[in-house]
Amino acid sequence: QAAAAEALANLAFQNSDTRKQMQTCDAGKAMVNLLHSENVDVHRAVLCALRAYAIEGKYAAELDQRGCLAPTFKLVLSDKQDVVARALRLLWAMSMADSIKGRIVKERDGKLLATVLGFIKTSQHNHPIKAAAMALVRTLATAEENRGELHKG
């Protein structure tokens, strides 16, 4: 599974045409299914693949329809710091689609957002987590309806 996820990541990083071919082959479904693996190496690889794929809004919407957000939200709470950073980067990429921004902010009645803001505020988290959390918060703040929620945290 980890090798398959790494191969998908390599494809997704290539270019827009490759991502289009991946969509035709239903690679999004396979990548979302890999999020449910128990293997941390699979998580690492598939989160990278999904972020590269989701950077284009139409693919983010496709991944959302396939149920990508729920397992990604869980991985934000992982005990593996690199998995947390990669999950935050995936949420950042998916939040480029306006329809997804509000769902991220409201997830678990705002508790996910509180967790993300906590990554920025506390000094115990490593730089990749802070950087990914800050990028996500900046993107979420581009939707006016989210600004009030972000200022509460």
| Residue ranges, the chain, pLDDT below 70 | 123-125, 144-153
pLDDT in tens, 115-145: 999 999 875 658 999 999 999 999 998 876 6
Give the Cα separation of 125 and 112 in Å (integer): 16
pLDDT digits (tens, 9 = 90+) for 102-117: 899 989 888 999 999 9
Residue 15's pLDDT is 85
- So what's the pLDDT on residue 150? 57
Query: Is residue 92 a contact partner of residue 130, using CB atoms and an 8 Å limit?
Result: no
pTM tops 0.85, yes or no: yes
Token duo for residue 84: 């947390």
Q: How far apart are CA 151 and CA 153, in angstroms?
A: 5
pLDDT at 138: 93
